[in-house]
Amino acid sequence: MKKLLVLLFVLLAGCTGVPEGLTVVEDFSLERYLGSWYEIARLDNRFEKELEPVVATYSLAPDGSVKVVNRGFDTKKQEWKTIEGRGLFLDDKETAKGALKVSFFGPFYASYNVVALDKTGYNWALVCGRDKSYFWILSKNPDMDPALLKELVAKAAALGFDTAKLRYVSTHR
């Protein structure tokens, strides 16, 4: 039983963290980050496979955690899908770093790392998971200026993300 608990802990702990060589945004303001964020591009993953467009809405929950609501249109089933989760800071909220863990399924958490951010207006963000196979370009606006998008893709490539595999999301409905 003890071995099983240790294995479970190792598996759960292995789902969070920042990819090697990357750092998260310092002086992160959760209050400014709250609201709806539109996916502009992403590295495809199994849990968003047929979803396009996708919007993530973040709000403060009564217990101080972050309420996360992801909504996307399933292009295969031709229906909207919504999932609700909970986010917590990896460090104390007062350290003001853009490193959180998010759970949509009970005690299982995954990393949510803000590795680049429009610090002036909080209009765009580059977000990744525990490794470089999970990556998103997010915007507070459903459409992004092509020149800005090109700049952010170049920034992502410089950070080591495989931008040749980016999936650009269609216009938001």
Q: Rounded distance, CA 129 to CA 132, Å?
A: 7
pTM above 0.75, yes or no: yes
Evaluate the CA torsion angle 134, 84, 50, 148 in order and state its sign: negative
CATH: 2.40.128.20, 3.90.180.10, 2.60.120.380, 3.40.50.300. Which one for 2-168?
A: 2.40.128.20
In tens digits, the chain (173 residues) has pLDDT values of 333 223 333 334 446 789 999 999 999 999 999 999 999 999 998 888 889 999 999 999 999 999 999 999 999 999 999 999 999 988 766 567 999 999 998 888 999 999 999 999 999 999 999 999 999 999 999 999 999 999 999 999 999 999 999 999 876 54
Q: Residue 144 corresponds to which tokens in the numbers above?
A: 């992004």
For residue 32, the SS3 value is: helix
Q: For residues 30 and 112, is the Cβ–Cβ distance under 8 A? A: no
